[in-house]
Each structure stands twice: as C-alpha cells, then as structure tokens.
Amino acid sequence: MDDVRIETIQDRVGQVVTLRGWLAARRSSGKIHFLQVRDGTGVIQCVMVRSQVSDDEFQAADHCPQESSVEVGGTVRADPRSPIGYEVDVTSFRVVHESEPYPITPKEHGTAFLMEHRHLWIRSRRQHAILRVRASLIKAIRDYFDSHGFLLVDTPILTPAACEGTTTLFELGYFGDRAFLTQSGQLYNEATAAAFGKVYCFGPTFRAEKSKTRRHLTEFWMVEPEMAFCDFEQNMAVAEDFLVSIVARVLDERRRELEVLERDTRPLEAVRKPFPRLHYEEAVRLLHENGSDLQSGDDFGGDDETILTRLFDRPIMVHRFPAAVKAFYMKRDPDDPRYALGVDVLAPEGYGEVIGGGQREDDLETLRAAIRAHGLPEEAFRWYVDLRRYGSFPHSGFGLGVERTLAWICGLPHVRETIPFPRMLEKIWP
C-alpha cells in the first residue's frame, strides 16, 4: 500500500512515484505503450517508451491482459491533452497478477449478463461514477442531520411487528419465535425522539414486494429523521431544506462523475425553495387534466407520479392524502379528518417519490382505534402505544430512500445500478 493515488496525483508533478492498480486498457505504436492504469480513485495514462525500460518490462506490458494487476513506476508530468491533466512517464513495470480473459469487454453486454457479473461490473467507468456519487449523497445526508441538531439513534432491523402491513414483509425464525425485517425505523424513532428530541436513523430496510419495476429493490437504504414538538408544516419545511441541501452538495462534490454519466445538471440546479405544495385533491385534478384515470381517493401509482412531476421544474410536495390509503399512525387533518397529515415529495423529470412523511397521531385513544381499524395486533404495538401514555407530544418526521434519490440525481432509468449489490425479485446474486 502506498499513498500515491491518482486522485491526488497533481501534488506529485516531477516526482517519481509508484502506482498500484489494474490495467484498464492499452494501445501500442511500435516503440511506445500507452497504458491506462486505474487504481480505484481514477485512471491515468502511463507512457512506456521502449528505450526507457528493460526489454522484459516492455514485453510484459505488451502481453498484459486487461484487468491484470500491475505496479507502475515513473515520473508524473502535467499534460494538457490528458483528461485528468497528468500522465506518467514509465521507468519500471511489474505485473502483479496476469488476468484471465476478462468477461466484460468494451463491446455492449446485456443487462442480465452485467448483473450476473456485478462483482466485476462495478469496476467500470459508469458504475464507478454512480457509486462515488452514492458515497457523497450518503455523507451529505449524514452531515445535514449531524449539523442540524439531530442525534443518530439506530433502530433495529429485526422486529417483532410490522410497520405498514404484513404482506410485504420478510419473515424469519428467531430461536423458535418469529421476526420480521424492518420496513422502516419510524416507530422506534418516535420512542427515541421522546428521549433525544431530534433524531435520525439510517440503515437498510426491506420490502418483499413482488414488483419488477424500475423503482423497486427488496433491500434499500433509508434515512428517517423524527422531530419532537414539530408539526406538519414545520416538517415539510425541514424536508424541503434537507433535499435542497443534499442535492446542492452532491452537485458541488461530484460534477466530474455526473459528466461521466452525461447527466444534464440543469434540472438539479433548479432544485430550490420553495417547492410547490399541492393538496391531494389539487394533484388529482391536475392528473385528470393530464390524462390519468386515477380514481379520486386512491393512492398514486408510479405512472401518476411520472405525469405529475413532468408538470413542474422542481420537486413538488403532495400533502393530505386520503386517510384511508395511508398508514395507521398518521394524524388526521383537524380541519378535514378525511385526510391524513402525510406528505410525499416527488422528484421532477418523472422520477417520483423520494420522500414520504407526516405528522404522527399522538392521542392515545385515537391511535388505539386506528390500530384496531387496520386489523393490526394490539399486543405488538403495546410499547408504541406507551409513547402516548407517558408525556405524549406532537411529532413529525419523514423518510428518504437513498436509491431512488440517487437514480434521480444520476439520471438513471433503473434503481438497480444505484447500490453495489442490488436485491430484487428473483435476484440475490452475487
């Protein structure tokens, strides 16, 4: 391990360095090999002139297959023709391990083939860019909450009860008992918000949905803030500020990666406050005007979200959905109890929901009635109901799905490329 890495090569101009990495590509013109070496932080062209190295080294480079691991010594030189601005004049070359013929070649491969080779596909330029944007997005999310008075409080993955119905749950045996993989940390967040005021959890969540769409993963990462003494309007303002902040941060840090992805960044630069706010019925009217046959009272489908978001140049907030289509824990609008104080934030360009949230029911008897009305087991929610017995408090929060947000930011047609090892219906390999 050596700390000379391509991403900081600009600090080494004129110096002799050793790079360790993989041979991404090579072309030769008789007396010169042009070696594209990648080390995980970037790709740099290493120029090997026959007269500057031993015959063995020159021969080794000539026969070295794609993706072989190599150690290249040489002098760093600024070069305006280089896409990264620098090249290396090679003085030594060693093959660490000669690769077998690499299955992923510059020719086009089908998605099924690439997904089957996901452990290798992630080495390629586009996947590399996406996963670097992902790391920045996650850091932007954490930094936002850490710097706004939220405490990270992890919620459990193994849970005894379902948060939003049992049909989409993964179930497993737990020492003779049964357990479910979490769909959301929200219920636990409400307990920790009573302890810490403003909290967030951030971890993997699971939905056993039999959906084979471009928006569904069975395993995905979600961040969920929850705020004590926060009402519905304040919660919408936080969600808006948060989304503006993380998009700006990623634009700032990962412009080069977004270029690799050929993402038109203008729609992202337009993500500014205020986001249009639409009451559910207003959104339904707009949908009907634009060709949707959504039944008033129903929840939106993916197609409805696509239609709606194409009408605006920035994210929109649809609020006050019919209580009947929303989860049992949502507080009803005191001005019209047919509606729940829930909000979805829909990303533009057809991407759809990236945030869902709202105010939680804080009255003991109303909540118990809702649990019964939804046919949920009261015993499983006994601890949750306790939060309304001992110092109940108005509180709100939301959840943002990392992969859908990343698909939007990167401009990807499918979420499967937004996570290193995607899990989907019938897809758990590698």
- Applying the rule CB under 8 A, the residues between 28 and 87 that interact with a second copy are 39-41, 67-69
Residues whose CB falls within 8 Å of the CB of residue 138, separated by 6 or more in sequence, listed in order: 202, 221, 402
Q: How far is the CB of 292 from a second copy (least distance, A)?
A: 31
Alpha-carbon gap, residue 224 to 232, rounded angstroms:
15
Pick the closer one to a second copy by CB: 304 or 403. 403
416 and 115 Cβ atoms separated by less than 8 Å: yes
User: Please, what is the minimum distance in Å from the beta carbon of residue 42 to a second copy?
Assistant: 10
* Nearer to a second copy among residue 190 and residue 305 (C-beta): 190
* Closer residue to a second copy (CB): 148 or 279: 148
Question: What is the b/e burial string over 247-275, where b = at least 16 CB atoms within 10 angstroms of the residue's CB?
Answer: bebbbebbeebbebbebeeebbeebeeeb
Single out the residue of 73, 322, 350, 394 in contact with a second copy (rule: CB under 8 A). Answer: 394
Among 86, 206, 242, 275, binds a second copy (CB under 8 A): 206
CB-nearer residue toward a second copy: 375 or 430: 430
| Nearest residue (CB) to a second copy, 140 versus 286 | 140
CB of 149 to a second copy, least distance (A): 6
Which of 36, 99, 168, 211 touches a second copy (CB under 8 A)? 99
Residue 373 amino acid letter: A
Kindly write out the interface string for residues 349-388 of this chain, putting x where it contacts a second copy by CB under 8 A and - elsewhere: -------------x-------------------xxx-xx-
Nearer to a second copy, 189 or 292 (CB): 189
Q: Which of residues 251-280 bind a second copy (CB under 8 A)?
A: none
Count of residues of this chain found to bind a second copy when the rule CB under 8 A is applied: 98
Q: Which of residues 120-179 bind a second copy (CB under 8 A)?
A: 120, 122-123, 127-128, 131-132, 134-135, 138-139, 142, 146, 149, 151-160, 170-175, 177, 179
Binding residues among 180-199 for a second copy as defined by CB under 8 A: 181, 188, 191-198
CA-only gyration radius of the chain, Å = 26
CA angle 198, 200, 201 (to 5 degrees): 155
Q: Cβ closer to a second copy: 325 or 421? A: 421
420 binds a second copy per the rule CB under 8 A: yes
From 394, 22, 371, 42, select the one nearest 233 (Cα to Cα).
394
Q: What is the identity of the amino acid at 25?
A: A
Please identify, using beta-carbon distances, which residue of 31 and 178 lies nearer to a second copy. Answer: 178
Stretch that binds a second copy, among 220-228, 275-283, 304-312, 370-378 (CB under 8 A): 220-228
Cβ-proximal residues to 358 (8 Å cutoff; 6+ apart), any chain: 232, 235, 326, 330, 331, 340, 341, 342, 343, 396, 398
CB 82 within 8 A of CB 34: no
Please report, as a single letter, which amino acid is at residue 410: C
